[in-house]
Structure 1
Amino acid sequence: MPGNVRTGTAGSGAGQPEQAGQETAQETADRESFFGPPSLIRTICARLRCLGLVCAGVLVFFLSLFAVYRFSIWLYHWIHTSPMFITRHIDISGNVRLNRDMILHLGGLHEGVNAFSVSVAGVERRLRATPWVEDVSVQRVLPDRFVIRVQERMPSFWIRRENRLYYANDRGEIIAPVESSNFMSLPILSIEPGCEEAIPYLARLMKDLRSGILPVEAGAIATVDVTPSRGVELYLEDREMRLSLAPDDWEGNLRRLGVTIGDLARRRELSSVQEVRAAQGSVWVVLRRTTQ
């Protein structure tokens, strides 16, 4: 009998822990079925952290863009309203016929305007559209200065087109009409058809006159005619004398013509000369006919 009691007690104590262990495993299985296995939970948490970091980065990026945008607006407003950038000095060089006021008016630039509100390309474009301007360079020098360098078209002749006189350069290209506001007395240029090949010699002629190779004052020349038969012909109105050069040997003909005119001047015989022509390596002097 005592043995039976001991045996029953032992059997009852051993059965309770086993039942408890079965309940714990069941609870664990239920929890894993609801939340998933631990590895899946860790993966989800890691992905959520990454998503949070990405969202934070995107937010910081857009906030930075907004800050840059607001700063740009503030900076734009400041540089366009600050007294520091008001134009106070405009330096102009290279102008001959165009005075300072004309250049500023034609370019649309004046003192007192904000330096950043001026389009440098626009000023250059407007000045280049002026017939007297060959080329121009406009430079903005911060904070308050502009530098304008002008290369003008220099007139050498008058040329007649459709019963109106125009200024022309040393290549015979029209610059602008002759008007009282820009009047300058110059020789009248005439180019006959078929003489286009002789046009480049006009620039050489004006250069030689300025250098003194040909002893004739440019202001004494009334007309310059380019013809197939006589080449380049000058008419000196004060002396009523014609000088002509054939372009076949320009340098040689020019040198011989200059020597001949100088010799006639030393002998004081220019007053009796009607024409001097240099061509084909020779010089012809035509005297005036004496009236009886």
Structure 2
Amino acid sequence: MRPDHPAVAGPERGRRVILSSTTRRRAVLRPNRRVTSRKRGGGNRQLLEVKARSRTVTRQRTLAAIWISVRLAAVFLVGGGLWVGGKKAVDALFLENPDYVIRRIDVATDGTLTPEQVVAAAGIEEGAGIFEVSLTAVRSRLEELPQIRSAEVERALPDRVTIRVAERHPVAWLVPPTEGDPYRAPGALLVDADGVLIRPLQVAPSHLHLPVITGVQTDRLRAGEPVLERDVRAALELLRVTESRLLQARWEIRSIDLSKGYCMEVTDSRKGRITFPTADVERQVGRLEALLGWCEGNGRELLTANLVPVRNVPVTFVPTPEEEAAAALPAAPAAEVPVKRATPVRPATPVKKPRTRANG
């Protein structure tokens, strides 16, 4: 409160004044409102003072708003001028500078794609400004190809762009049930170890020796997408496990038939046929290893085996030379057994006993 307030003026000025709770609450809620007294004509003087001060505050606020607007306008003008001037300078020094033009595109790949195919997929040409090429966009376009796993694009000033491509390496062919030759079948697809499908742009020599997975409906499959069929996943797992256990030197897979749906009929390079269940593939490969170990220890070659049964596995072996020679010999004619005629047997005539009279 002001010192000249009637509540503290007069003979009791300087003494501590205790305000009521109502007065304190009003002062907190309305701190800027002046408490006026209408005693002795003081109310008109205080109202005039409030009006004069409000005009001063309004004028000061208006001047401050104008000053802020002028400063903001100056900042925008200076910033716009700097941006326009900087853009023109960048265009003159870099974008339109004939020294920063692409004159060489280096391509490094680890697969069957040619440099021309990679450059065409990247969408860049020699003669374009090197700073006009978006490296992120070029990498995205390259990685959209199903054949490419990842790509790196670098800009080397003043005139060179380097592209490094890591391709997907297929591990098998997927062939529809009605097609037998994967190299001529229009619906044949390649698949890598992750199950991603690849439509080959050209058949490379390395594709000729890949195993063939048959019995798969490929019309619903799309290149660049992972295959989700359980049987195909089991076949890929079989290829992965045999490669990790180095079984290919002893047993090389040539084809996997999935047409039955509940098992995989595998044909090896020696025309042997092994039937696998589609579940617990790694354990089934361990059982096959045991069979191959027994065959090597006993000098036999596995011809067929059915690993679907848990016990009493049906197994056949390639005939040995002795067995083939014995099978080639003509069979000895069977000895004729003499046939005797049946002798008719007549029943014997019963002998009648003579009757005797009893004595007496």
**What TM-score do the two structures reach when normalised by structure 1?**
0.63
User: What amino acid maps onto 1:131 in structure 2?
Assistant: P
Alignment of 1:55-204 (within 5 A): 58=73, 61-82=76-97, 85-87=100-102, 95-109=110-124, 113-140=128-155, 146=161, 148-161=163-176, 163-164=185-186, 165-170=188-193, 174-177=197-200, 179-180=202-203, 184-185=207-208, 186-191=210-215, 196-204=229-237
CA RMSD of superposed structures (Å): 4.0
Report the Cα distance in structure 1 between the residues aligned to 2:70 and 2:155, rounded to whole angstroms: 45
Structure 1 residues 106 and 192 mapped into 2: Cα distance closer, same or farther (>3 Å)?
A: closer
Superposed displacement of residue 106, structure 1: 2.2
Quote the Cα distance in structure 2 between the aligned partners of 1:70 and 1:78. Answer: 12
Partner of 2:239: 206
3-state SS of 2:279 partner:
helix
Structure 2 residue 316 is matched with structure 1 residue 286: yes
- Structure 1 or 2: more helix by fraction: 1
Distance 1:130 1:192 in 2: 23
CA contact (8 A) 1:170 1:203 kept: yes
Q: What SS is found at the alignment partner of 1:115?
A: coil
Identity of aligned residues (%): 22
Task: Give the alignment's TM-score, normalised by structure 2.
Answer: 0.53
Question: Paired residue for 2:277, among 233, 239, 246?
Answer: 246
Which residues of structure 2 form unaligned runs of 5+?
1-58, 180-184, 218-227, 329-360
Q: Give how far 1:118 is off.
A: 0.8
* Count of matched residue positions in the alignment of Structure 1 and Structure 2: 241
Judged with a 3 Å threshold, the aligned counterparts in structure 2 of structure 1 residues 159 and 243 are, in CA distance, closer, same or farther, namely same
**Contact persistence 1:87–1:144 (CA under 8 A):** yes
Which shows bigger deviation, 282-291 or 244-253?
Answer: 282-291
Q: Say if 2:91 and 2:97, in contact at 8 Å, map to a contact too.
A: no
User: Could you give the per-residue CA deviations for residues 152-211 of structure 1, whole angstroms, max 9, x where no partner exists?
Assistant: 222122223474233233466531147446762122211468x93233222322222322
Look up the SS of the partner of 2:303 in the other structure: strand
Instruction: Output the amino acid matched with 1:277.
Output: N
Q: Is the 8 A contact 1:158 1:187 kept in 2?
A: yes
Separation in 1 of the partners of 2:306 and 2:288? 7
Query: What is the CA–CA distance in structure 2 between the aligned matches of 1:215 and 1:281, rounded to whole Å?
Result: 24
Q: 1:249 to 1:131 in 2, by over 3 A?
A: closer
Alpha-carbon shift at residue 142 of structure 1 (Å) = 6.0
Higher strand share: 1
Q: CA deviation at 1:74?
A: 1.9
Q: Does 1:256 align with 2:271?
A: no
Any idea what SS the aligned residue of 1:117 has? coil
Sort the Cα spacing of 1:84 and 1:265 in 2 relative to 1 into closer, same or farther, 3 A.
farther
| Structure 2 SS opposite 1:156 | strand
Which residue identity does 2:230 align to in structure 1?
E
Q: Partners of 1:110 and 1:77 in 2: how far apart? A: 21
Distance (whole Å) between structure 1 residues aligned to residue 73 and residue 279 of structure 2: 80
Report Cα offsets for 1:221-252 as digits up to 9, x if no partner.
33111254662222124x12112222333222
CA contact (8 A) 1:167 1:178 kept: no
Query: Structure 1: how far apart are the matches of 2:74 and 2:159?
Result: 41
Give the structure 2 partner of residue 22 of structure 1.
none
Distance 1:169 1:240, change over 3 A: same
Check whether the contact 2:212–2:256 (CA below 8 A) recurs between aligned residues.
yes
Q: CA deviation at 1:73?
A: 1.8
Mapped to 2, the partners of 1:88 and 1:109 lie a distance apart of 11
Change (3 A) 1:131 1:58: closer
- 2:41 matched to which residue of 1? none
